[in-house]
Amino acid sequence: MIDDLVDRVTAWIADDPDQNDRETLELLLRDGLRDELARRFAAPLTFGTAGLRGPVMAGPAGMNRLTVRRATQGVVAWLAAGSVDASRGVVVGRDARRGSEAFNDEVVRVLLGAGIDVYEMPGPLPTPLVAYAVKALGAAAGVMITASHNPREDNGYKLYDAAGSQIIAPDDEVVERYGAAATRPHLAERTDVHYHRVAPSVLEEYARHATTRFAAPGESRLAIVYTPLHGVGGATMASLFREAGYRAVTPVAEQFEPDGRFPTLALPNPEEPGALDRAIARAEEVGADLVLANDPDADRLGAAVRGRDGWRVLRGDEIGWLLASTLLAVAGPNDVVATTIVSSSLLEDMARDAGVDCVVTLTGFKWLGRAAGQRTLAFGYEEALGYAVDPRVADKDGLTAALALAQLADELASRGETLLDRLDAIERRYGVHAVDQLSIRVDGPDGRARIAESLARLREDPPRRLGGLAVTKVVDLASGWRGLASTPGVVVLAPPARVVVRPSGTEAKLKAYLEVVGSPRDPRPLEVQREAARGVLASIRDELESRLAVARID
The CA angle 455-270-144, to the nearest 5 degrees, is 80
Helical (H) or strand (E) element with 312: strand 310-313
- 374: amino acid identity, one letter: Q
Q: Is the pLDDT of residue 247 over 80?
A: yes
Give Rg (Cα) of the chain.
23
User: Where are the extended beta strands (E) located within 125-248?
Assistant: 141-145, 154-160, 195-197, 224-227
The yes-or-no answer on residue 148 being catalytic is yes
**Closest by alpha carbon to 111, among 166, 183, 192, 30?**
192
Q: Is the pLDDT of residue 159 over 80?
A: yes
What is the architecture of the domain spanning 204-429?
3-Layer(aba) Sandwich (3.40)
User: Which residues contact residue 224 at a Cβ distance below 8 angstroms, ignoring those fewer than 6 apart?
Assistant: 241, 246, 248, 249, 250, 288, 290, 291, 292, 406
> In degrees to the nearest 10, what's the CA dihedral of 536, 541, 546, 551?
-170
Q: At what angle are helices 398-413 and 234-243 packed, to 10 degrees?
A: 40
CA dihedral (485, 487, 490, 492) positive or negative: negative
Q: Would you say the CATH fold of 204-429 matches that of 45-198?
A: yes
**Closest by alpha carbon to 344, among 303, 383, 299, 398?**
383
Q: Is the pLDDT of residue 401 over 70?
A: yes
- pLDDT (0 to 100) of residue 552: 44
**Closest by alpha carbon to 60, among 227, 180, 145, 233?**
180
Q: What is the DSSP letter of 151?
A: -
Which whole number is the average pLDDT over 373-378? 96
The distance of Cα 390 from the centroid of its chain, to the nearest Å, equals: 17
- Please say whether the beta carbons of 518 and 533 come within 8 A: yes
- Please say whether the beta carbons of 445 and 369 come within 8 A: no
Topology of domain 432-547, per CATH? TATA-Binding Protein (3.30.310)
Of 458 and 19, more confident: 19
- pLDDT (0 to 100) of residue 480: 87
Q: Is the pLDDT of residue 88 over 70?
A: yes
Mean pLDDT of the chain: 94
Q: Is the pLDDT of residue 210 over 60?
A: yes
- Please say whether the beta carbons of 410 and 222 come within 8 A: yes
Count of other CB atoms within 10 angstroms of residue 422? 19
Q: Mean pLDDT check: name the lowest of 140-149, 197-206, 505-514.
A: 505-514
Q: Mean pLDDT check: name the lowest of 76-85, 162-171, 241-250, 373-382.
A: 76-85
> Which H, E and C letters describe 285-301, residue by residue?
HHCCCEEEEECCCCCEE
CA 396 – CA 126 distance, rounded (Å): 11
Count of other CB atoms within 10 angstroms of residue 521? 6
pLDDT band at 506 (very low <50, low <70, confident <90, very high): low
Q: Is the pLDDT of residue 551 over 70?
A: no
Q: Is the pLDDT of residue 2 over 80?
A: no
Q: Is the pLDDT of residue 553 over 50?
A: no
Q: What is the DSSP letter of 335?
A: E
Active-site annotation holder among 87, 100, 148, 479: 148
The SS3 call for residue 440 is strand
pLDDT band at 82 (very low <50, low <70, confident <90, very high): confident
Count of other CB atoms within 10 angstroms of residue 473? 11
Q: Is the pLDDT of residue 97 over 60?
A: yes
- Please say whether the beta carbons of 449 and 537 come within 8 A: no
CA 102 – CA 91 distance, rounded (Å): 16
Q: Is the pLDDT of residue 482 over 90?
A: no
Distinct helix (H) and strand (E) counts, the chain: 17, 22
- Please say whether the beta carbons of 50 and 366 come within 8 A: yes
Q: Is the pLDDT of residue 176 over 80?
A: yes
> Which H, E and C letters describe 452-509, residue by residue?
HHHHHHHHHCCCCEECCEECCEEEEHHHCCCCCCCCCCEEEEECCEEEEEEECCCCCE
Predicted TM-score of the model (pTM): 0.94
- pLDDT (0 to 100) of residue 252: 98
Q: Is the pLDDT of residue 554 over 60?
A: no
- The domain segmentation of the chain, as residue ranges, is 1-41, 45-198, 204-429, 432-547
Which whole number is the average pLDDT over 40-46? 91
CA 387 – CA 397 distance, rounded (Å): 6
- pLDDT (0 to 100) of residue 411: 97
Pairing of strands 154-160, 52-55: antiparallel
Q: Is the pLDDT of residue 1 over 80?
A: no
Topology of domain 45-198, per CATH? Alpha-D-Glucose-1,6-Bisphosphate; Chain A, domain 3 (3.40.120)
Which residue stretches of 50-99 are H helix?
A: 65-81
Bin 467: left if φ > 0, else alpha if -120 < ψ < 50, else beta: left
CA 109 – CA 143 distance, rounded (Å): 13
Q: Mean pLDDT check: name the lowest of 101-115, 355-369, 472-486.
A: 472-486
Q: Is the pLDDT of residue 47 over 80?
A: yes
The SS3 call for residue 210 is helix
Q: Mean pLDDT check: name the lowest of 279-283, 351-355, 359-363, 446-450.
A: 446-450
Work out the percent of the chain whose per-residue pLDDT is above 90: 87
